[in-house]
Structure 1
Amino acid sequence: MRLTDKVALITGAGQGIGRAIAEHYAKEGARVAVADLDLGRAEQVALAIVAAGGSAIALEMDVTDEAAVEQGMAQLVRHWGRLDIALANAGIQHIAPLHKLAFADWNRVLNVHLGGAFLLTRAALQQMYKNGGGSMLFMGSVHSMEASPLKAPYVTAKHGMLGLCRSVAREGAEHGVRSNIICPGFVRTPLVDKQIPEQAKELGISEEEVIRNVMLKHTVDGEFTTLADVSEVAVHLAAFPSAALTGQAVVVSHGWHMQ
C-alpha cells in the first residue's frame, strides 16, 4: 500500500471527487479525515471507510470560516498527532454570463474555492512544517488552464489555485513540503450534473448537446473523466517520493486540454 500510516485531510469529501479520493486513500493505508460542510455526509463516508477496514474520522468544516478550519485541524491533530497530506477539494459552481453576474455570486464562488484553499493551506503548512514535510494538494480543473463561457468566477478561482499551488511549492520546499494541483475535465458528479440543465437553458440547446458539444467536444474519446481517474492521480501525487513533481499541474481530462 502506498500511503500506509499517512494522515490525510480532504475538504468537500462528503460526496463526489472528494469522497472517491478519501476512500482510495484509505484503501492505500492512509488515516483519513473526511471534512465537509455537511457533517452527516462526512460521517457517512467515514463510517463506510471504517466498515471497509480503513481508518477515518468525520470533520464538520466550512472552508470559508477561518475558525472552523482551524478547529477542524486541531481536532485532527488531537486525534492522530500529525498531518501528512492535505487536499483542498471543496468547491461550488455558478452558471451566469458576466454581464448578468451578481457580485455576491462572484464572491461566493471565489471564497469557497480560493479562500477555502488558502485557509486549509495555511493550517496544513503549520502542521507539515512541524513534522518535517508533507504533500499539499489542490483540486483544480482544466479551467485552471483555460476558460469556458458562463463560468467566470469558477475559472478565475481555479486559475488562482494554480498560483497558490506554485507558491506553496516555492515556500514549502525548505520544509519538505511538496505541492501539486490536479486538473480534471468534466466528471459526472452532482456539481457537473447540476450544470447540464443550467447550461442548456442559458445556451438554448438540449442537455444532450451540452454533454456532446460542450463538455466532451474536445476529448479524444468522447468520455467523461471518471472518479477513478482522478483518485488514482491523487494517490500517486500524495505518495510520490521526491520533489521532482512539485509545483506541477496534472491534467486528467481524456485529452481535452493538452499541456
Structure 2
Amino acid sequence: MIFPKKLENAIITVKNKLPESDPFSDTTQIQQSKLDALMEIVNFVKQMNYIKRPRVKEKFSFFLRSKYDYQETATHFGTSRNSIDVMVSRVSRQIESLVGKETIDMILQEKVSEALRVFRSGILNESAKGFFLPEAAKYLPEPKYRMFNSLEECSSEIRFLNVLTEHGMKNMIEGCDQEKLAHILYLISDNSKKMIEGVSDDKVLQSYFENGHHSREKVAIEREALLKLFNGEFSMTDIGEHISNKYQVEKALDEVRRQHIFHDAGSGLELASKEG
C-alpha cells in the first residue's frame, strides 16, 4: 500500500473512534492527539518539499487529488500508466523513509510523542541535517516561520543550536581538560568494569590499588554514579519535573561522596576489628 493511502486509512480509523459527545473525556483526548499528529504528517505530504523536480511534483499532486487514480493521471499527462506507477512508488517510498516506516503504527498504538520525534527528525531539511548532530536534531521541533521583530530575540536559542553543530561540539570538547575527559570515559567503559571485577591486565592500575592510592570499590561507586547520570536517572524529580544539567551533576557527585563516606567508615571498622 502506498504511503498516502496508509495515512488516509489511519485518519479514517481515528476519526471513527472519536466520540460524538463528551469532548473532555480521556478517550476523546487520546484520539484527538492521534488525529493532530496524523494531520501534521498530512501537511508535510501536501507541501511536497521533498520532491525536487517540478514535473514530478505536478504529477504527484494531481494523483493525490484524483484519489489515487493511476489511469486518470496517466491520461491527463499523456503518459503510460506504468510510468505513473513507477513515479508514485518512488515518491511513496521517499515519503515513508522521511516520515518513518513505523510512525503511523506508533501513532495508532498511542505512542504519539515518540512517533512525532521520529517524524520531525526525519523531515529536517538537508541543510539542517548537515548542520546539527543527528541524535540531537531528532528532538528539535518542526520548522515553522514565526513573526519576531528581530533575530536578536532568538539569541539564546541560536547559541544553544550552535552548540549542537559539529564544530560547536568540537570547540566545547577541546575547551575541556582532555585528561579528565579521558578519565571519565574510562570509568564508564568496559575496561573499567573489568578493572572492578579484577580481570584487567592494566599493570599501572593494579599498582595503584596495591599501594592504597585507590580501591576497586571506590571506582565501582564512581562508575555507577556516572552511568546513572548519563542514562538520565538524575534528570527528573520525583514529581516528574526536569532538573537542570548543573544540578544533575551535583546529585551524581553527592551520591559519590556519600558512598565514599560509607565505604571509608566500613573500611575503618573492619581495620579496627582486625587490630582488636
TM-score (ref. length: structure 1): 0.25
Q: If you compute each CA radius of gyration, which structure gives the higher value, 1 or 2?
A: 2
TM-score (ref. length: structure 2): 0.24
Greater RCO (Cα-Cα under 8 Å, separation 6 or more): 1
Q: Which has the higher strand share?
A: 1
